[in-house]
Structure 1
Amino acid sequence: MSSPEPNAPSLRAAWAALAILCAAYLLSVFDRQIISLVIGEIKRDLSLDDFQSSLVLGSAFAVTYILFGLPSGYLVDRFGSRRVIMTGVAIWSFSSAATAFVDSFWGVMLCRAGVGMGEAALMPAAYSLIAGTFPRHRVGLAMSIFVFGAPVGAGLSLLIGGPALDFALRVGPVHVALAGTIHPWQMVMISTAVPGVLLIALASRLPGRVALAAATSPATVAAITPDAAPQPDAGHFRTHLWLYLRIFLGYGLGGLVGATTSLWAPQYMIRSLHWSATDVGLVYGTINLVGASGIHLVTGVVLDMLAKRGSTNAPVSVYLAMVVLGLPFSFLLFSTASSVLFVVALIAVSMLVKPSMAFGSLAVQSITPSSLRGRAAGGYSTAVALLAYGTGPALVGYLTEHVFRDGAKLGAALTIVLTSANLLVLVLLLSLLRPIARHALSVPRHEG
């Protein structure tokens, strides 16, 4: 049986560390998503337009998240995961809470940029720590458990944030000595600092710098420390540039559909369907918690089954089928006036189109030599973040503010962006079916 390095923590300590990492990922997505509930209140109090609101929702976060991703990886190698995670949590928690104390568009943008900078530290630190504390035969399971923090965090941010906002709205503005008048949305943002303080205390119990597990697979080692692995001819990327670009664009646009839906759907439900924040949290939070987690497990089983049968393009063919099924729902989602049809379409889009990241990652893995997978994964993650958070939400705001010039046209703007993106995804995935099968270096396997 494979085991970690002698200086690595015990398996029990590894599972304890994983629990803390899951809590950190959950909280990071919670703080990232909570803004979608209160952006309407921020827009009103700070006199923002829809385009400015869209930049607050996505672009401000995406830019720093992308810029600080690689430097964070270097800091992990230099100082260890524990220090980097504690610092990252402190930065994003402070920045999220500080949003409550700014009174301008640029102030909110700066705070959201701080959230992106802090959260950029988590992923490289977590991947490094998981690979360094778990033996090979448990790394896949540990990684799968870790990524469940995303749908859980998104779901809880809505389930908790919705009722919290409604409660704060019922209480109304509160006057606090020295701080002045605190509005309901400010109360919600301030409250995000509390779990951050607790998480920093928990993170202090994480292992320090640990070596990669001796039995960790070469692919995992290369993904986390690519510079330490033997380097094949870098011409691989030049030779297959068009193939990589289609993967990045295809799955990145799928991510755009997911992120744009996640960030704008709560405001559409409040603004156009006249739902309360509590109702938004209950419905959309449950969809994230149950639907997103469930589809992850189902698609994992399907991908493993196809891989065992020798399929070399399963990450493309399975996601292509899901997009085809989800396409009519992406058109229906924000064009219907029926709450029932909206919920049905929201479930379909969340389960069929939204989970693009894992499929794209497997597609990249299948055509990339093991010692280049770290750089390929970095390029893929950057492209997805840029399209999903940096572009999608901003396009919606631009359409409502500068094309339609009517905030009531939010549904029309969302329909145009989501349907167009899904059609492009469909075309790109169709163009990938044969090339992925032809250039696959190994049968991609879903570990989880």
Structure 2
Amino acid sequence: MAESATTSRDSLELLPDAAQRYGAGDVEGWRAGALLLTFFLVSALSQVDRILPYIMAESIKAELSLNDTQIGLLTGVAFAVCYTLLSLPLARAADRGSPRFVLVSCIFLWSAMTALGGLASSFLLLALTRFGVAFGEAGAMPAAHAIIARRIRPERRGLAIGLFAMGIPLGTMVGFAAGGALGDALGWRMVLIGAGTIGLAIGAMALAVPGPTPPRKTEAISKEPFLRTSFALLSSPGFRWLFAGAVVASFAAAPFYVFVAPFLIRTHGFTASEAGLAFGLLQGLMGIAGTLLGGRFFDRAVRTGTGRVLGPPAIIFLLASIPMTAALFVPVGWVSILLLVPSMFSFAFMLPWGFGAAHLVAGEGREAMATSLVMIGSGLLGPAIGPLLVGVVSDAATAAGLANGLGIGLLLIPAASLLTCLALLTANRRVAARLRGAVTGDASHF
């Protein structure tokens, strides 16, 4: 109980009225801009390397003689296993030591594995390279968040996380739009090799720009075993429900990004280039709007001092589930694409709120661990089971003679969006009670 109260006091120290605790390592002006630009490029690159097999799935499937179930395994389980095994220890390494070293090492690893994926001659070899990509990506985001926590002032951190997270939708846009066009023109192998080469250059940039990262002030936390820290965070009801929200949201997001482009190609007759351009551009625009607005509104919610920092994304997920359902069955392709837009916005809007709330609950010195746990929630069951489940349902429905088998499988997305709304509303109440309890010294909320 004492440990819980200490964690909650640490959490409140991240609020603006305690911003003066930070200062020695803060960066301002152009230095902060250069730091966030670098991290934006890292975030975008990681998403491009993850997305490319999605938009090029039909070409990969044809050349390597795969089925939808194997595509689901290839794009889901590889990442989920690595997130489970490696994200927490890599996050602990970032919290304890040099997050810059962890970040740069991870970038070089996943970039090399992306390039090697272009040389794969079988499902097994391609899956092994995707394991390597997942290894690198498992540590990159926690390490980047640890640097942000040490270098960006607390009252600006929501926007900083939003700018960093903006790389995800823009990387998705580039991955779908450029990946589809280049895949048609050059072939999927050359695209993977080229993306890996670009990644090595951005890794060198990440090595130079952040500079030495100042040590944390909370040395006692750094000595805790990472499993103990993880269990301490998950013992908080607010963090548990946030974790649950990340899990169910991933059951909506993972199948969305894996199978929506193939859905548009099969059901509405788009080419890979057309589907990638339309889907990618809209996803990029919604991603920019979602992450920036999410970061701004999260900072505003923190400044109110109520601790209610998860209600808005919950409502957005609820509203997005309705047009998503309609998008799977309308007969006109461009209408289907437009009906996908609210879901694109909801996934981006959630990012600053989810990570920002996790940092608040975790407290100073646990930011990378909090990020890692949220990543595990969003990167484990959903990506592992969601695309696989959609692929199995699609194959079964198609075998049964149904014309829109993939659309039926994709009904998992609106169902998971509704569950995400419920989980986030519950987390909203729990997090608020936790932070209020820290102010009053009432540990009964914890």
Same fold (TM over 0.5): yes
Within the candidate set 381, 392, 399, 1:398 is matched to 392
CA distance in 1, matches of 2:352, 2:405: 33
Determine the structure 2 residue equivalent to 1:50: 68
CA distance in 1, matches of 2:428, 2:436: 15
* Compared CA separation, residues 354 and 329, structure 1 to 2 (3 A): farther
Q: How does 1:14-413 map to 2 (within 5 A)?
A: 14-76=32-94, 80-134=98-152, 139-168=157-186, 184-207=187-210, 209-212=212-215, 226-227=221-222, 240-241=236-237, 244-305=239-300, 311-315=306-310, 317-352=311-346, 355-364=349-358, 375-402=369-396, 405=399, 409-413=405-409
Give the deviation of 1:430 after TM superposition: 5.1
Counting aligned pairs with the same residue, the percent is 24
Determine the structure 2 residue equivalent to 1:178: none
Deviations 1:396-422 (A, max 9, x none): 11222356546961111012x113212
Unmatched 5+ stretches in structure 1: 169-183, 214-220, 444-448
Q: Is the 8 A contact 1:269 1:280 kept in 2?
A: yes
Q: Is the 8 A contact 1:80 1:208 kept in 2?
A: no
Deviations 1:57-100 (A, max 9, x none): 12212221332222323444677344433322221112112112
Residue aligned with 2:54, SS: helix
Greater shift, 418-427 or 143-152, is seen at: 418-427
Residue 419 (str. 1) matches residue 422 (str. 2): no
* Compared CA separation, residues 19 and 282, structure 1 to 2 (3 A): same
Give the deviation of 1:370 after TM superposition: 5.7
Give the alignment's Cα RMSD to 1 decimal: 3.6
Q: Is the 8 A contact 2:294 2:349 kept in 1?
A: no
Determine the structure 2 residue equivalent to 1:446: none
Aligned AA (1:88): C
Q: Is the 8 A contact 2:314 2:422 kept in 1?
A: no
Give the deviation of 1:118 after TM superposition: 1.4
Task: Determine which structure has greater relative contact order: mean sequence separation of CA pairs < 8 Å that are 6+ residues apart, divided by chain length.
Answer: 2
* Compared CA separation, residues 373 and 56, structure 1 to 2 (3 A): same
Give the deviation of 1:371 after TM superposition: 6.7
Q: Is the 8 A contact 1:251 1:356 kept in 2?
A: no
Aligned AA (1:165): G
Determine the structure 1 residue equivalent to 2:444: none
Determine the structure 1 residue equivalent to 2:443: none
Unmatched 5+ stretches in structure 2: 1-18, 439-446
Q: Is the 8 A contact 1:254 1:354 kept in 2?
A: no
Aligned AA (2:74): V
Determine the structure 1 residue equivalent to 2:4: none
* Compared CA separation, residues 48 and 118, structure 1 to 2 (3 A): same
Q: Is the 8 A contact 1:264 1:393 kept in 2?
A: yes
Aligned AA (1:411): G
Give the deviation of 1:112 after TM superposition: 0.6
Residue aligned with 2:325, SS: helix
Deviations 1:282-302 (A, max 9, x none): 211211221121123334444
Q: Is the 8 A contact 2:79 2:380 kept in 1?
A: no
CA distance in 2, matches of 1:17, 1:238: 31
Deviations 1:250-300 (A, max 9, x none): 332123212221221111122222212221222112112211211233344
* Compared CA separation, residues 85 and 374, structure 1 to 2 (3 A): closer
* Compared CA separation, residues 207 and 75, structure 1 to 2 (3 A): same
Give the deviation of 1:319 after TM superposition: 2.3
* Compared CA separation, residues 338 and 440, structure 1 to 2 (3 A): farther
CA distance in 2, matches of 1:238, 1:167: 48
Aligned AA (2:148): I
